[in-house]
Structure 1
Amino acid sequence: MTEFEKLVSEQMKTMDKLLDLQSELDRCKQIEAELRHLERDARLLGIQNEIAVKRKHLADIQDMFQKQTEQVIRSYRSSEKPSSFV
């Protein structure tokens, strides 16, 4: 497996994590809305904390994904053969 393929594979794993976490965050936000409606402050605070943690985790994964994208681009560019003009 080439370096480029390894980087792309890692990036795909990161994308899966990103999508899973986004789904969890959406689920938590839905629960938050339901709890607000039901005015259950104690549980509301708990879910708000969970949302804050997931948002932080999501931002971390997004940063990692951005760095991996840059690595993939650099790897691809370094593996390209320069075109010759005739």
Structure 2
Amino acid sequence: MKNFDLLVTEQMQTMEKLLYLQSELERCEEIEEELKSLQQETELESLQTEIAHMKKELREIHRVFECQTEEVIRSYQEVKVSV
């Protein structure tokens, strides 16, 4: 059961990262729209690069979270079978 608890804790930490990054991405996208309306091309390009990086990082965190979910399920099933 200790392994299961550890896996769940790790998964919750990943979820926190995921939620933080999603909120930051949303904030940057709002700024992107403002810069577009102000036609601030230099700042816009820099922000768009940052947004692309965040989206890539978000995809990676999603992948990690999915793997962790599978591992948590396997661990839970092992605990359930051994009880």
Which segments of 5 or more consecutive residues in structure 2 lack a partner in the other structure?
none
Percent same amino acid among aligned pairs?
A: 49
Structure having the higher helix fraction is: 2
Q: Distance in 2 between matches of 1:61 and 1:81?
A: 30
Larger Rg: 1
1:67, 1:33 → 2: CA distance?
34
CA RMSD of aligned residues (A): 1.5
The 3-state SS of whatever aligns with 2:52 is helix
Deviation of the 1:81 alpha carbon: 3.1
Q: Tell me the TM-score normalised to structure 2 length.
A: 0.95
> For 2:68 and 2:54, how far apart are their aligned partners in 1?
21
Aligned equivalents of 1:64, 1:82: Cα separation in 2:
27
Q: CA deviation at 1:16?
A: 0.2
User: What is the number of residues matched between the two proteins?
Assistant: 83
Match of 1:2 in 2: 2
> What pairs up with 1:51-70 in 2 under 5 angstroms?
51-70=51-70
Stretches (4+) displaced over 6 A: none
Question: Using CA pairs below 8 Å that are at least 6 residues apart, which structure has the higher relative contact order?
Answer: 2
